[in-house]
Structure 1
């Protein structure tokens, strides 16, 4: 199929893109952040390159990042750009999306705050597959318990050997 571009006059249409709603979601049962991009003009966006990164609100440390190149976007259309959450659980909190879109000579930059609510994160995490769970707290608790058990054993054995010496 070949698309046809019709024009009614010689007036050049300037491309324009907007960033819409940002929300946590899933694609194939994997956690992704969806950022809605809208091409509001009757012009095809060619050579579209999009860079997106997510940070905690107020921080510059990148938590998740997705880059896509050589895309095209139809006139007067929108789509949900997926930011891969890399098999991580959604965590409730406030985040910031930093996004740049370039198409030929045009460039759009957005910085937008969004929130992932606790019930939303829990519901999506329960459905997600292949999540890398963070067990760090359990490792710390286990190490502390093991250390306490060893201290108690050393104390009891020391007490027993001192009794034998006294006898």
Structure 2
């Protein structure tokens, strides 16, 4: 069931990415969505990329269409952009906590209706009010508008007791800026610690982009090596990631099924961003091909995994074969104790029987003695 949920979530994420790039009617939906782009659109994107002045208020328009023969209730959502553990920017509401550097949260500057009812065979224009912050800033306020059919208006498949309901959503990015001036991203390694992803041990490196600029085409190489035990070494690399402005995420370095060993470690990480033919930083792949990047960050950080933490995570890791030898020894001990109890029981029964026989012999001897004494008297 857990794996099934993971696959459904992945499909929804991919669907969201597709819709974000090119909104179009899909047969999974009972409605379609179209962003009506205003004159102050800063780019030719199909989503909202608005150039506004400080304190400016603007009304955006989104067109919803229902081509079916029944009414459809659409939930309209809003969220600031975040970055997930795969290095993918998410524009829809999720459980990721806002980063500490997020000064302008979309929910404080955008007003919208939470639900829209679409009558059969109808089109409705939805109004969204956006207010630019009073203060001047450079870079992007990044977020997204989400449209999905309200739960309960779709049929739920129920097979052999398993209830599954696939949810699909249109996601329209909403970017707000006050100038065309690009802002360079920043990157910080805030924390390194042991953790788990899908019940598998990892070492998490929390990366933060406190800037109001996107970090695009992100390439990362990381190595973790034991300080107490230099034989322990883990490596990881990934490319073509992206970070939203004012966001953070935990980059997971997998232990590939190995047990976490307590002790002190050191992480070394090199991160590149924004491919650029004239970039100052060169990365070579295994074949010797060079790629130039505009940005580079190098991090070195020591951290420690306690014995309690290692024990806790190892016990939950589904890829680690748990040591059950204690069960074998417990069974042996119980069998041994049982045999001892049987031995003492047999010994006790034998002694009791001997004691009863001795008492019986004594009684017979006493009886014979009395009979003899009586014969003598007669």
TM-score of the pair, normalised by structure 2: 0.33
The answer (yes or no) to whether the contact 1:53–1:62 under 8 Å persists in 2 is no
- 1:30-56 residue CA offsets vs partner (Å, 9 max, x unmatched): 100111000010111110001111011
Higher relative contact order (CA 8 A, sep 6+): 1
Is 1:116–2:292 an aligned residue pair? Answer: no
**How far does residue 87 in structure 1 lie from its aligned partner after superposition?**
0.5
Task: Name the structure with the higher strand share.
Answer: 1
Query: What is residue 127 of structure 1 aligned with on the other side?
Result: 316
RMSD (Å), alpha carbons = 2.2
Query: Partner of 1:70 in structure 2?
Result: 240
Q: CA–CA distance in 1 between the matches of 2:223 and 2:253? A: 8
* Local SS of the residue matching 1:122: helix
Please name the residue that 2:191 is paired with. Answer: 21
Looking at structure 2, the residues matched to 39 and 110 of structure 1 have their Cα atoms a distance apart, in angstroms, of 14
Structure whose CA Rg is larger:
2
CA distance in 1, matches of 2:272, 2:231: 23
Over 3 Å counting, the alpha-carbon distance change for 1:133 and 1:66 in structure 2 is farther
Does the residue aligned with 2:177 lie in a helix, a strand or coil?
coil
Aligned position for 1:55: 225
Alignment of 1:83-102 (within 5 A): 83-102=253-272
Unpaired runs of at least 5, structure 2: 1-19, 21-46, 48-172, 275-293, 324-378
Q: Tell me, in whole angstroms, the C-alpha distance in 1 between the residues paired with 2:262 and 2:232.
A: 17
Q: Post-superposition, which runs of at least 4 consecutive aligned residues in structure 1 deviate over 4 A? A: 58-62
Residues 89, 132 of structure 1: 8 Å contact kept: no
The residue that corresponds to 2:208 in the other structure is 38
> Using the alignment, how far apart are the partners of 2:250 and 2:201 within structure 1?
14
Aligned residues: 134
Cα distance in 1 between the residues matched to 2:271 and 2:178 = 28
Q: TM-score, normalised by structure 1?
A: 0.73
Question: Residues 82-136 of structure 1: CA distance to partner in whole angstroms, max 9, x if unpaired?
Answer: 00111000000000000111102000000000000000000100111122689xx
